[in-house]
Structure 1
Amino acid sequence: MAKSLVTAVKEKSILQEIAPEYWEQACRELMKQDRILKKIIPKYGSGFLVTRGDAFTTLARAIVGQQISVAAAQTIWDRVVIASKKKMNPKNILALTVEELRAAGLSGRKVEYIRDLADHFNSGRLHANQWKDMDDESVIQELSAIRGIGRWTAEMFLIFNMIRPNILPLDDVGLIKAISLNYFSGEPVSRHEAREVAANWAPWRTVATWYMWRSIDPIPVEY
């Protein structure tokens, strides 16, 4: 029998130190509200959403991960980090040539995006210190003004950097795949159907999304 969430939390004291403060409450409520999550959450009870806390790194990783698998994104990201002398910051990214970034595995378009992102941070055009006081949609709108950052990337930022609890990234291929497999026996799922399923997850849609990702990929998603 799978360990209860409470037991897993007690055994992993690190969870109380690093996990989002709402994580345990969210898991309890989601297991009560959703029959599928009631089965999935105990399998990964000791796992949780991890953030690196750095806005540039989170956004850069999200750009790298656009429309590719978690494993492929990790491989490319590791190469980018090595190319930047293992110090991921705007200055080091701008110091790399287009050829060096392409050699790390980035597409031409993603090279443009990550360099533009670095330039926004390096020039001080972003006011990251204000984001914590803005609501989800306001942050999404501001980030979407940066070239290469659309709604999906902005939502990844809200999830992995700002740890907002109720984000539903309907443009995420992994989430849609997981909803299809877990709720529709693998049949194709529309955005409307996915949204209906996720209505039961509020106000913890970020947490439910994380467990959906874990249900289809052994590698925890990180940005």
Structure 2
Amino acid sequence: MKNLIAAENHLRRSDPVLAKIIAQHGACMIKPDRRYFRSLVEAILSQQLSIKAAATIFSRFQNLLAGQILPTAILQLRDEQFRSVGVSRQKMTYLRDLASKWQDDFINPRRFARMHDEDIIITLTQVKGIGRWTAEMFLIFSLGRQDVLPVGDLGFRNALKKAYGLRKLPEAKRITALAEKWKPYRAIATWYLWASLNNKPKSGA
């Protein structure tokens, strides 16, 4: 992920609270996963499941496809094959919609590099089962975008409350104002705040 040293230096200078957290946790460990389609499939399969259950379902699904998590392979699966590895009817619909939009070039990963964050979010959320939160996590952990601010993430909001001594969980408007000084590295600041709770993003759609 590019410019991490510059990001860390900027955050240290701009925010004394983050400076302490960075000192405690060291280098940011975000390593973008360029397997874009696979990442979105895993995100859909993981929704509303514990970490352990999600890992089990994804492993079974991956074995079902012999490790080839591709749009064409998903579109060839029958309902009973999905069910055999624990995929619900709703998630079947989501995965088929993702695979169709990928195959039909509605989502083209070659265009991502030229697209703004918000345009990618708008595109991805046209897929059934992908909401803003999932799209934001994709931007951070797959595309390595450094200025994403996931104001709806519960873990992030809890970390802000604790780190900044807030009386209650901050709402979007307050988070946006507080994060203004982190630009253009708001995703890196978010990662450090997650780390301050030894936390991972709280999953959502």
Fold agreement, TM-score > 0.5: yes
Give the structure 1 partner of residue 127 of structure 2.
146
Q: CA 1:220–1:193 in 2, change beyond 3 Å: closer, same or farther?
A: closer
Give the structure 2 partner of residue 94 of structure 1.
75
Partners of 1:79 and 1:96 in 2: how far apart?
14
Q: CA 1:206–1:73 in 2, change beyond 3 Å: closer, same or farther?
A: farther
Whether the 8 Å contact between 1:152 and 1:169 is mirrored in structure 2 is yes
The one-letter amino acid paired with 2:72 is K
% same residue: 35
Deviates more, 1:194-203 or 1:103-112: 103-112
Whether the 8 Å contact between 2:146 and 2:185 is mirrored in structure 1 is yes
Whether the 8 Å contact between 1:66 and 1:153 is mirrored in structure 2 is no
Q: CA 1:125–1:217 in 2, change beyond 3 Å: closer, same or farther?
A: same
User: Residue 139 of structure 2: which of 155, 158, 163 is its match?
Assistant: 158
Task: Tell me by how many angstroms 1:190 deviates.
Answer: 1.8
Give the gaps of 5 or more residues in structure 2: none
Q: CA 1:43–1:131 in 2, change beyond 3 Å: closer, same or farther?
A: same
Task: Tell me by how many angstroms 1:121 deviates.
Answer: 1.6
Deviates more, 1:88-97 or 1:53-62: 88-97
Give the structure 2 partner of residue 188 of structure 1.
169
Aligned CA RMSD, in angstroms, stands at 2.8
Give the gaps of 5 or more residues in structure 1: 1-19
Give the structure 2 partner of residue 34 of structure 1.
15
1:113 matches 2:94: yes
Partners of 2:49 and 2:162 in 1: how far apart?
19
Whether the 8 Å contact between 2:156 and 2:201 is mirrored in structure 1 is no
Task: Tell me by how many angstroms 1:107 deviates.
Answer: 4.5
Whether the 8 Å contact between 2:28 and 2:191 is mirrored in structure 1 is no
Q: CA 1:176–1:111 in 2, change beyond 3 Å: closer, same or farther?
A: farther
Deviates more, 1:22-31 or 1:85-94: 85-94
Matches within 5 A, 1:66-81: 66=47, 73-81=54-62
Give the structure 2 partner of residue 217 of structure 1.
198
Question: For residues 70-90 of structure 1, what are the alpha-carbon distances to aligned partners after superposition, in whole Å with 9 as ceiling and x for unaligned?
Answer: 565444433432333223222
TM-score, normalised via structure 2 length: 0.81
Give the structure 2 partner of residue 57 of structure 1.
38
TM-score, normalised via structure 1 length: 0.75
Task: Tell me by how many angstroms 1:106 deviates.
Answer: 4.5
Matches within 5 A, 1:164-183: 164-183=145-164
